[in-house]
Amino acid sequence: MRRISNLAMACLGAVAMLTFSGAIMAGEGSVTVNIANGKKIFEEGKPDAGTAPCQSCHGEKALGMDAMRTPRLANIGYAYVVKQLTNFAEDKRIGAGVGVVMNGFAKSLTEQERRDVAAFVNSLPKATEPSDLAALKADGTKVGVPHLGLKIVRYGTGEKESMSACISCHGFNGRGADPVYPKIGQQKYNYLVDQLNNWREGARTGKADSGSRANDPLGQMRKVAAHLTDEDIINAAAFLSQAADSTPGDGMEIGNQTVLENIKKNH
């Protein structure tokens, strides 16, 4: 209980900070999104700027690709996608692997275009495309054990250097807590592994570079990842990559569109 209580205090601080900024961003008349323009950029890029289409790496349905280690963007949360694109544009987050293109891509977008793209990917029909863990394992990827990951996601770790449950901030099975915390359930396995490792490295270095992340509010993810072992990371990723938004014992539906629904849309 102490682990959850401590993290809950940190969560409340982040909620207060980000909800305030989100309220300004989503205030009546303050923001308009053009979903059609976001769709055009996602599917066609910006040829005049030499910017490739988002779907080249994230897939036609924005569900990510394990083969490219790229994340799902669909329905993970409008405010979160805007924040990440802005952080890439400002070099507060540095892409790695194929993601090395993200800084240049984000810089090529205007502030409005970043909002448009985020609005489009979070207006897509809900779809489920879990990582194929068996295929990944057959290709030589080290794959964790989902039921061991379930324990971490729902209850945290119980060791001396313990971490709180992922659901404390990201909601049941990581289905998201819009507008502050993104959907991490049904995220691609390889991307989850990479980012948890990057957060852990960010906890060690305290900076953002191609192998670490430090753009988390109040350092929350770095504090969590600092206590994860290699096995913890692949186990949690294995469970989250398959996690259903709801179960027979928890039928609540999450849209992750709280902010988006309050923004004037220009179709």
Q: How confident is the model at residue 197 (pLDDT cuts 50, 70, 90)?
A: very high
Lowest mean pLDDT among 10-19, 123-132, 148-157, 168-177: 10-19
Lowest mean pLDDT among 18-22, 29-33, 94-98, 200-204: 18-22
d(CA 47, CA 53) in angstroms, rounded, equals 9
Q: How much helix, strand and coil, in percent to the nearest 5, is found in the chain?
A: 50, 5, 40
Which long-range contacts link 254-258 to residues 24+ away (Cβ below 8 Å)?
254/171, 254/175, 254/176, 254/178, 254/183, 255/75, 255/178, 256/75, 256/76, 256/77, 256/78, 256/122, 256/175, 256/176, 256/178, 256/182, 256/183, 257/75, 257/78, 257/122, 257/123, 257/178, 258/178, 258/179
Lowest mean pLDDT among 17-26, 82-91, 166-175: 17-26
Question: pLDDT by residue (tens digit) across 123-152?
Answer: 999 999 999 999 999 999 999 999 999 999
- In our burial notation (b when 16+ CB lie closer than 10 A, e otherwise), range 124-161 reads beeeeebbebeebeeeeeebbebeebbbbbbebbeeee
pLDDT in the model for residue 21: 40
Burial class (CB in 10 A: 0-12, 13-18, 19+), 249: exposed
Lowest mean pLDDT among 73-87, 161-175, 182-196, 235-249: 161-175
Question: pLDDT by residue (tens digit) across 203-256?
Answer: 999 999 989 999 998 999 999 999 999 999 999 999 999 999 988 877 677 777
Q: Where are the domains of the chain?
A: 2-265
CA of 198: how far to CAs of 71, 122, 194, 220, in Å? 14, 25, 6, 13
d(CA 5, CA 262) in angstroms, rounded, equals 31
Please tell me the pTM assigned to this model. Answer: 0.88
Tell me the mean pLDDT in the region 105-125: 97
Question: pLDDT by residue (tens digit) across 38-97?
Answer: 999 999 999 999 999 999 999 999 999 999 999 999 999 999 999 999 999 999 999 999
pLDDT in the model for residue 6: 44
- Record: fold of 2-265: Cytochrome Bc1 Complex; Chain D, domain 2 (1.10.760)
pLDDT in the model for residue 260: 76
pLDDT in the model for residue 249: 78
Q: How confident is the model at residue 161 (pLDDT cuts 50, 70, 90)?
A: low
d(CA 235, CA 166) in angstroms, rounded, equals 13
